[in-house]
């Protein structure tokens, strides 16, 4: 079909009985070779340039735009311009693709867009332990510099951020970890050809004091911690009974009863598991049902998958009697199909247990004690019972023995007893 393509013709055609066509219709312009109007059965109409590159036998279609977005005169002018480019040997399809690619790269090069659309989905799909890194990047950098291009996140900017954090009391380790997560993200941006180089490649981590005293529980502190956990369990059980009585009086559906011998929630089994295995908090968050084998050997075992471990290496930890018992109760109680300790709200991986943990630490009157110090306690107990450092290294999943030496300090009174035995 051939017609002189004008805005008036298009309006008239839209009102005709032939619109929309039953199948794709191409209307060629009578005044300009290759200029055409494509009409779809859906009713959408687009201008195209049908052309043939010098030396080619096959025709190609170059889409100029929809009639709803561009006038006929503007489309005709664009077709004339592209036709001239074809005659000079330019591949107009590739040129159009390159323009789109450059525009997408420029859009993707801002911190928030790259984080939200590229890096976050990657971490959630490929990395079991990626949530902590994502939270650190978003909290410290994305929320602070959302529209900053990735290439402009330079060492000067990050060094100023570090100074601010150190000034308000954050330690070197607490500063190094978010920066390390940001550098890892920028390395991915380089790998995916979003930027040419990592602008933070030259920044060095702050020196951390590897000789500081490792905090771990003595016998009295551990006893207070256990009592605080038991008290919390009893309180939550009492609150559940009271709440159900309130709901029953109002004709509401009752919540499930917390039976004796079961846990009120995830906190107590998680804390006791850390005390008995030395697992990091994130490693506990990552555990799935298939990582637990209660019948392996004499004790059972936990497999810490490399994808969810700090070192990236898979390791196996035999279970103590207490760890095996608590896992047996928790698995029977919660019947997990995937995550062992999912969020009770989202049923996805937990992000933190800060509030519940802080309450127990306060109730147990533990001074400056972190969840990670449960790991120190496990390692110190092994060392004080004469377990060699290389075995402790395997339990903790350390990459080097030097790190194990930091975690495996002996209690001062234990050292004193050792010297006293020599004096005797």
Q: Give one DSSP letter per residue of 54-107, joined into a string.
A: TT--S-EEEEEEETTTS-HHHHHHHHHHHHHHHHTT--HHHHHHHHHHHHHHHH
Q: What is the number of domains present in the chain? A: 3
402 inside domain: no
Burial class (CB in 10 A: 0-12, 13-18, 19+), 218: exposed
380 inside domain: no
- Residue 248 sits in the same domain as residue 324: yes
- Residue 224 sits in the same domain as residue 352: yes
* pLDDT tens track for 133-178: 888 899 999 999 998 999 889 999 999 999 999 888 788 888 998 9
Rg from Cα positions in the chain: 33
- Residue 241 sits in the same domain as residue 337: yes
Query: What is the Cα–Cα distance from 270 to 287, expressed in whole angstroms?
Result: 11
Which of 191, 209, 229 terminates a domain? The answer is 191
Quick one: DSSP state of residue 349? Answer: B
- Residue 8 sits in the same domain as residue 73: yes
- Residue 147 sits in the same domain as residue 231: no
- Residue 7 sits in the same domain as residue 116: no
Query: What is the Cα–Cα distance from 48 to 35, expressed in whole angstroms?
Result: 6
Query: What is the Cα–Cα distance from 74 to 116, expressed in whole angstroms?
Result: 37
**CA pseudo-torsion sign 415, 419, 420, 424:** positive
Q: Which domain holds residue 227?
A: 219-369
Residue-wise over 17-48: b if at least 16 C-beta within 10 A, else e? eeeeeeeebebbbeeeebbbbbbeeeeebbbb
* pLDDT tens track for 112-132: 989 998 899 998 887 766 777
- Paired with 29 in beta bridges are 3
- Residue 141 sits in the same domain as residue 88: no
92 inside domain: yes
Tell me the CATH number at 353: 1.10.443
377 inside domain: no
pLDDT in tens, the chain (424 residues): 899 999 999 999 999 988 999 999 999 999 999 999 999 999 999 999 999 888 788 888 999 999 999 999 999 999 999 988 888 888 888 888 777 766 666 666 789 989 998 899 998 887 766 777 888 899 999 999 998 999 889 999 999 999 999 888 788 888 998 999 999 999 999 998 888 899 999 999 888 765 556 788 999 999 999 999 999 999 998 898 898 899 889 899 888 878 888 899 999 999 999 999 999 999 999 999 999 999 877 889 999 988 777 677 889 999 999 999 999 999 999 988 899 999 988 888 888 898 999 999 999 999 989 999 999 999 989 888 888 888 989 998 888 887 787 765 554 566 666 667 677 6
């Amino acid at each position: 079909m051939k017609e002189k393509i004008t805005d008036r013709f298009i309006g008239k055609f839209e009102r005709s009985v032939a619109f929309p066509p039953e199948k794709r219709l191409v209307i060629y312009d009578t005044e300009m070779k290759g200029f055409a109007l494509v009409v779809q059965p859906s009713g959408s109409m687009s201008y195209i340039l049908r052309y043939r590159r010098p030396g080619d036998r096959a025709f190609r279609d170059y889409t100029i735009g929809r009639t709803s977005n561009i006038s006929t005169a503007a489309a005709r002018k664009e077709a004339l311009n592209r036709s001239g480019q074809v005659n000079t040997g330019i591949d107009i399809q590739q040129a159009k693709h390159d323009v789109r690619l450059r525009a997408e790269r420029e859009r993707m090069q801002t911190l928030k867009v790259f984080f939200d659309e590229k890096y976050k989905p990657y971490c959630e799909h490929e990395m079991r332990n990626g949530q902590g890194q994502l939270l650190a990047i978003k909290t410290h950098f994305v929320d602070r510099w959302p529209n900053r291009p990735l290439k402009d996140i330079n060492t000067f900017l990050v060094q100023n951020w570090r100074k601010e954090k150190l000034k308000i009391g954050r330690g070197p380790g607490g500063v190094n970890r978010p920066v390390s997560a940001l550098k890892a993200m920028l390395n991915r941006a380089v790998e995916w050809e979003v930027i040419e180089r990592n602008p933070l490649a030259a920044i060095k981590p702050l020196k951390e004091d590897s000789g500081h005293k490792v905090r771990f529980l003595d016998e009295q502190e551990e006893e207070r911690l256990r009592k605080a956990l038991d008290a919390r369990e009893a309180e939550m059980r009492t609150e559940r009974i009271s709440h159900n009585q309130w709901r029953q009086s109002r004709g509401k559906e009752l919540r499930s009863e917390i039976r004796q011998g079961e846990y009120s929630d995830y906190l107590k089994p998680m804390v006791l598991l850390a005390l008995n295995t030395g697992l990091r908090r994130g490693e506990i968050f990552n555990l799935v049902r298939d990582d637990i084998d209660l019948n392996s050997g004499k004790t059972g075992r936990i497999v810490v998958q490399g994808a969810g471990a700090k070192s990236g290496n898979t390791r196996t930890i035999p279970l103590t009697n207490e760890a095996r018992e608590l896992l047996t109760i928790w698995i029977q109680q919660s019947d997990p199909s995937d995550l062992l300790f999912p969020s009770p709200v989202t049923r996805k991986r937990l992000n933190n247990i800060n509030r519940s943990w802080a309450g127990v630490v306060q109730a147990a009157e533990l001074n400056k004690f972190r969840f990670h110090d449960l790991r120190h306690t496990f390692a110190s107990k092994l060392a004080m019972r004469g377990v060699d450092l290389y075995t402790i290294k395997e339990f903790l999943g350390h990459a080097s023995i030097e790190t194990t030496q930091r975690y495996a300090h002996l209690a001062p009174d234990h050292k004193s007893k050792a010297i006293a035995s020599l004096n005797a």
